[in-house]
Chain A
Amino acid sequence: GAVVSQHPSRVICKSGTSVKIECRSLDFQATTMFWYRQFPKQSLMLMATSNEGSKATYEQGVEKDKFLINHASLTLSTLTVTSAHPEDSSFYICSAREPRGDEKLFFGSGTQLSVL
């Protein structure tokens, strides 16, 4: 299946700093990528839909100024958590859809963010 690479897999940062997470589709071009957040033992919560060349679409309740999404190319989307606080600590996962007409969605390996 298609491969989606996410980096870093784990990051620890101080409160107030910004953290960037990268998501790359390695063997296909993804016009749309998705960013999820997952708390321990809970389901995935969609944060935003990232569209190549245009602004991201954020889900209700997600602060667009805190979670900056950039989809500058067909293979790369980035999520920047700005001025991180301990409550932003979570598991962040990206996904991308193959542009073949079916609905298969492939996920990255996730990034565990810990804000001290």
Chain B
Amino acid sequence: QVQLQESGPGLVKPSQTLSLTCTVSGVSISNGAYYWSWIRQHPGKGLDWIGYIYYTGSTYYNSSLKSRLTMSLDTSKNQFFLNLNSVTAADTAVYYCASESTGTHFDSWGQGILVTVSS
């Protein structure tokens, strides 16, 4: 069973970079059957797909965030990463990492991490 766990700072200053790590257990992130995603949820709001990365390093981003977004992975640590630069208060949200085992749905989710953008 795939398990995911987000980690990173819970508070980021405006204009700085939000950096999160997702640690995966139960499957290798080099398994070609999976895509590794980030999804966020603004307080009291719905879900927004941020983007995903494949084990080859190929990335696919939401066009609304593309200019500020970088995803990467470290297969030796079975982790993948999110970097979102030039953050504003509008980036305050709970950030989830999730897996897609067949590329058609998000079947396993981390518990989520609240990131607040504030000075």
* A and B together in one complex: no
Q: B residues touching A (Cβ–Cβ < 8 Å)? A: none
